[in-house]
Structure 1
């Protein structure tokens, strides 16, 4: 790959992040039109200071963020790699960046939710150490959701 990659830590107000998650939502609703009403409320991004955007040759192509879930746990949200940049290891790179950042902030665990048909995503998460767990709130009872968890650091107690 001869592209120049740049990883940027930013916030949810970043226009490139907003453009990427708009594309993510569009692809999700095309793939899962029946779920739009059930999941829409879970995908609203309040102001989030923990966002990563990856650029290839100055073009934003991938993103992800995390938010606090509880005292020791952060939740990965809004993972997306644009179609033209898939297969380059960018999703794994985003996860690594987010997990490292969360460790620096004192989190010991990472959780995430994905949809049952996101086979590539589920496979990637399992390869990097996530295990499927019982659905956590707000996904309890949502049979289309797959929830996963990983230990990312040691607690400082």
Structure 2
């Protein structure tokens, strides 16, 4: 693989196409696309970040982070079509988040999505206390990680 990434925004055509695929997969796994948890129009390029990963010019992975609290961001809409690209994607997203001043990343996924949970744990994320709309939602798991330099 010859992976490259592009910093973009959620209205990017490649990002949108990947998220369409993600929605179908999530709906199959969790019976929810997750689309209601991310509003594209709320994206702020000053505080948020969006990345699309390419292999030989073809969009294969995407992800977003948005401001969560003062020094933490929340990862959203993470998706990879190709094994190995997800690790590259999360590394680039974390690096970009550090550049924007974030010291910690958090996220939520459904407990039934074991593939995602195991992926995040392999990349240093651990279970944290539920936050925001995920409080008292037993079907969700919240994970977090300190973003080290």
TM-score (norm 1): 0.84
Q: 1:66 to 1:19 in 2, by over 3 A?
A: same
Distance 1:108 1:99 in 2: 9
Distance 1:17 1:103 in 2: 22
Q: 1:144 to 1:27 in 2, by over 3 A?
A: same
Taking the TM superposition and a 5 Å limit, the aligned residue runs for 1:6-155 are: 6-33=4-31, 35=32, 40-48=35-43, 49=45, 50-82=49-81, 85=82, 87=83, 89-153=84-148
Contact 2:75 2:106 in 1 (8 A): yes
**2:93 partner SS:** helix
**1:17 partner SS:** helix
Which runs of 5 or more structure 2 residues have no equivalent in the other structure? none
Between stretches 100-109 and 45-54, larger displacement belongs to: 45-54
Which runs of 5 or more structure 1 residues have no equivalent in the other structure? none
Distance 1:6 1:128 in 2: 19
Distance 1:5 1:40 in 2: 26
**1:27 partner SS:** helix
TM-score (norm 2): 0.89
- For the aligned residues, what is the CA RMSD? 1.7
Q: Report the count of equivalent residues.
A: 145
Instruction: After superposition, give the CA deviation of every residue in 1:8-44 in whole Å (9 maximum; x if it has no partner).
Output: 11111110001111111111112222x46xx552133
Contact 1:107 1:153 in 2 (8 A): no
Structure 1 runs of 4+ aligned residues shifted over 4 Å read none
